[in-house]
Amino acid sequence: MTLPIGVLISGSGSNLQALIDRMEVGVLDVTIQAVISNVPGVKGLERAANHGIFSQTLSHRNYPDRASYDRIVVRVLRDAGVQAVVLAGFMRLVGPELLAAFPGRVLNIHPALLPSFPGLHAQEQAAAYGVRLAGCTVHFVDEEVDHGPIIIQAAVPALPGEEADALGDRILALEHRIFPQAVQWLAEDRLEVQGRQVVVRPGERLLATRNDLPPCLVFPPLEEGF
């Protein structure tokens, strides 16, 4: 079964690209039915077009409040046949209208080890704080910022004196691994939320061999193809 998803973006869309790439090699069982950007002209829209994926710009500036913006987003997603929503660098809070339309089926990627450093510029916050481990998190979305139950996290060493950009690049490389994996678990209906805990039910894939990854810790472990 292939899960029809919608991807919401605001920028470069490198996480969108990671999803497209896994989809095109046949390890990610989704079809991206719609890409919506709240910012016009961003590179992510070009990426969608390059792969023949329907996309639309819906600027939040054209709507009086969050609820009316979310309603139009839901309408476009529903019209496209979407059953789950993936926030891939979507720099806006989603409200109850959208969450109610896709209950338990909205995922977000955040470039920090939540609950540390929610919100904007997480990589800069981590570098400035002087953490020794930084990383990224894929979680279910709820009504609070970067808050819902955590599906998967990956940690990388943060080097003293390292620029936030260099740290951010190493985090981003892992985002591109853990995000498609989490979306695949959703597509396989293997995620069970028990309060704040997410259980990943066993599947049929073997675990990935890790020799192509830089020093990092990923948990739950990635499976073959991710």
- Residue ranges binding ligand GRF (CB under 6 A): 9, 11-15, 44, 88-89, 109-111, 172, 175
Nearer CB in complex with ligand GRF: 69/90: 90
Nearer CB in complex with ligand GRF: 110/177: 110
Selected catalytic residue, list 110, 121, 139, 147: 110
**Rounded CA gap, 167 and 152, in Å?**
19
In the bound complex, what is the minimum distance in angstroms from residue 193's beta carbon to ligand GRF? 21
- Beta strand 133-140 with 106-110: parallel, antiparallel or unpaired? antiparallel
Nearer CB in complex with ligand GRF: 44/180: 44
11: Cβ contacts below 8 Å, ≥ 6 apart: 39, 42, 43, 44, 89, 91
147 is catalytic: no
Which amino acid is residue 43, in one-letter code? Answer: K
Residue matched to tokens 């990224």: 136
In the bound complex, what is the minimum distance in angstroms from residue 125's beta carbon to ligand GRF? 13
Nearer CB in complex with ligand GRF: 8/77: 8
In the bound complex, what is the minimum distance in angstroms from residue 116's beta carbon to ligand GRF? 14
- Straight-line distance from the first to the last Cα atom of the chain, in angstroms, rounded to the nearest whole number: 19
- Beta strand 3-9 with 150-157: parallel, antiparallel or unpaired? unpaired
**Rounded CA gap, 61 and 82, in Å?**
24
**Rounded CA gap, 226 and 208, in Å?**
7
In the bound complex, what is the minimum distance in angstroms from residue 155's beta carbon to ligand GRF? 15
Residues with catalytic roles: 110
